[in-house]
Homo-oligomer: A and B are copies of this chain.
């Protein structure tokens, strides 16, 4: 570790987060190789079951924002991490850390959003824990959700499975969640209705797998660090080069405008209802048609392809025809976005 203290950027999901994980947390706790780091752990051989297990803590600020609140975000995020491993989400735990003085009505609103999101995703909230910290030692509500899913198939969907030729699909516009939270936090009046895309993607994944099975190689949701960081992670894990097409990236005009005004690159802005699906080339168009036909996939697009085996470079063909190298998010663009 090059620093003696934890910096905000260690929570960015980008380069500093990876350093903290790779240099301290993972070597100490679990020794999982980088190429095997996925959104959920896979547990094999439990009375012949194969299970997925995942955890995420949510510290978003503000806790209520256009398009959702920390409650549905915490359910959708963990449902999505299970779905990205190819598992069917079953059960979720809820760990609440409440700050003394939090209003009960805000807590109720958050809990109701959790319940609605869980019902919509068809997962059960089965266990929980509640702690209270003194005023000034927390920030209203932090929520941890952990989840268990079961695999109904034997395919291994993971970040190290991208192959040259594969196409990269995205189910809709980028940057909505990050910009909705940022605008709400900073009180920006962007003259537009940017709302979070927070949404469970397990039903979409279920249909994609039922139709295309083993031809779906990688699924991952581009949350903290955005599409850029997530694509770079996959390129490194799979040891392939990836090329994105800037003009193919779906983005809402309001988000593009807000990013432009604020000097942010939407490729690094967090999403909470989006997934990248890396699919065998000959199934890509059919997979795109399926995605586009679903409510979670309006605006879906093929945004790039895996060009060759190599050591994990990501390039983007820009709108002007140039090539731009894409690296992970460095530092902390938008703290506490999820």
* Residue ranges of A at the interface with B (Cβ–Cβ < 8 Å): 1, 3-11, 17, 20-21, 24-25, 28-30, 40-41, 43, 46-49, 51, 53-59, 61, 90-91, 93-105, 107-108, 111-112, 114-115, 118, 124-134, 136-139, 142, 144, 146, 148, 150, 335-336
Contacts and interface: CB of A to CB of B under 8 A. Distances in A.
A133 B137 CA distance: 11
B29 A133 contact: no
A27 to B, nearest CB: 9
Contact of A128 (B4, B55, B114, B133): B55
A115 B31 CA distance: 11
A126 to B, nearest CB: 4
Contacts of A5: 100-104
Contacts of A17: 130
Nearest to A148: B53
A134 to B, nearest CB: 6
Copies of this chain in the oligomer: 2
B57 A144 contact: yes
Contacts of A93: 41, 53-55, 146
Task: Name, among A20, A28, A54, A139, the residue most crowded by chain B CB atoms within 10 Å (CB to CB).
Answer: A28
Contact of A6 (B48, B55, B56, B99): B99
A199 B237 CA distance: 38
Contact of A130 (B8, B10, B51, B98): B10
B94 A129 contact: no
B57 A131 contact: yes
Contact of A126 (B21, B41, B94, B129): B41
Contact of A131 (B3, B11, B108): B11
A25 B133 contact: no
Contacts of A125: 29-30
A6 B132 contact: yes
Given A104-B4, A139-B137, A115 B43 contact: no
Contact of A46 (B20, B21, B90, B139): B90
20 contacts: A6-B98, A6-B101, A7-B100, A8-B100, A11-B132, A20-B130, A28-B111, A28-B115, A40-B127, A41-B127, A46-B90, A48-B49, A55-B93, A55-B94, A55-B144, A55-B146, A57-B129, A93-B146, A131-B336, A134-B335
A25 B108 CA distance: 8
A296 B56 CA distance: 32
Contacts of A115: 28-29
